[in-house]
Amino acid sequence: MSDGVIQLQEYKSDIKVTWCPGCGDFAVLNGLQKALQALQLKPWMVTIVSGIGCSSNIPHFLSTYGFHSIHGRSIPVATGIKLANPELTVIAAGGDGDGYGIGAGHFIHAMRRNLDITYIVMNNQIYGLTTGQASPTSEKEMKTKSTPEGVIENPINPLTLALAAGATYIARGFSGDAKGLADLFQKGIQHKGFALIDVLSPCVTYNKVNTYDWFRARAYSLEKEGHDASNLGAAWEKANSWPNLDQKRDRIPLGVFYRRTDIPTYEDLEPAFRKGPPIRQPLGLENPEALLEEFR
Ligand code: SF4
């Protein structure tokens, strides 16, 4: 820290990043470090929680607090941390298999609660850590190790799911646009409520279809097209434009789809918080006899 300003370097850990060269997750890590620095968040007041997968190694590469949890459970762990100490900035992160597959139930319930958590999903449309099986966002007909004749299921659309479930900040970024990612992360962290940032983050080793070039040929900026992120109908139309059942894949919107600031967070409504954050409340152990009496 110099002159009271936290430098970018101070958000970086000294653990070697082990992702494959060219993996889209590098841009997410860089973008997140830049967003934290732009907001001047103290590293000790930030916690990154992940599940399992290549992208879920991300807490190791930051100098904030971190919790590398189990498959699909980043959201419940992040929820517990946020509820214990709502003064912390809590960011959950992981991949599409982790968050939209095994963790899908947690994902939906966190959104309907409007917890003040930022959720970054590095969506590479494949299981990378387990060497290339179809994930919940793999495109229909895509050939993978687990689907040698092509995927027969429709992919999950995380953005329409988030709109339906009640997320109050919904955005999509692309690892080929590092500056745009940092901006989306910054806005998501500042948003009071549940923020989803789905990042198209190519797996250069196992997904040979959805590459950087493939996305560059299709991606466009919602902001440049004058999209109104306060308009639910417009957000739905844009979110549903890809992926969808018609398999239209010629134009993929990037940016903030939807943002709403008039919905109270779970923390705003939780009666237990009226006395202040739980971490600042007495544990009730000052008089153990009285506590034991409750159970007699
Ligand atoms: Fe990234 Fe894919 Fe390599 Fe995993 S396998 S680190 S997702 S490029």
Residue 3 placed within a domain: no
pLDDT value of residue 113: 97
Question: Closest residue (by CA) to atom 6 of ligand 1?
Answer: 19
Question: Closest residue (by CA) to atom 5 of ligand 1?
Answer: 128
Taking alpha carbons only, the member of 182, 170, 195 closest to residue 39 is 182
The answer to whether residues 74 and 42 touch, using CB atoms and an 8 Å cutoff, is no
Residue 184 placed within a domain: yes
Helix (H, G, I), strand (E, B) or coil at 89: strand
pLDDT value of residue 2: 67
Question: Closest residue (by CA) to atom 2 of ligand 1?
Answer: 203
Query: For residue 19, how far is its CA from the centre of ligand 1 (angstroms)?
Result: 6
Q: Which pLDDT tens digit goes with each residue over 194-227?
A: 999 999 999 999 999 999 999 999 999 999 999 9
Residue 1 placed within a domain: no
Average confidence score pLDDT of the chain:
96
Residue 2 placed within a domain: no
Domain that holds residue 35: 8-293
**Once rounded to an integer, what is the mean pLDDT over residues 259-286?**
91
296: confidence class by pLDDT, cuts 50, 70, 90: confident
Supply 57's token pair.
């190694």
HSE, CB side, 13 Å, CA atoms: give it for residue 150: 5
Q: Which pLDDT tens digit goes with each residue over 46-72?
A: 999 999 999 999 999 999 999 999 999
pLDDT value of residue 283: 79
Residue 270 placed within a domain: yes
Q: What is the pTM of this model?
A: 0.95
Query: For residue 208, how far is its CA from the centre of ligand 1 (angstroms)?
Result: 12
247: confidence class by pLDDT, cuts 50, 70, 90: confident
Domain count, the chain: 1
| CA separation for the pair 203, 128 (Å, rounded) | 7
What CATH number should be reported for the domain holding residue 137?
Answer: 3.40.50.970
Residue 271 placed within a domain: yes
Helix (H, G, I), strand (E, B) or coil at 236: helix
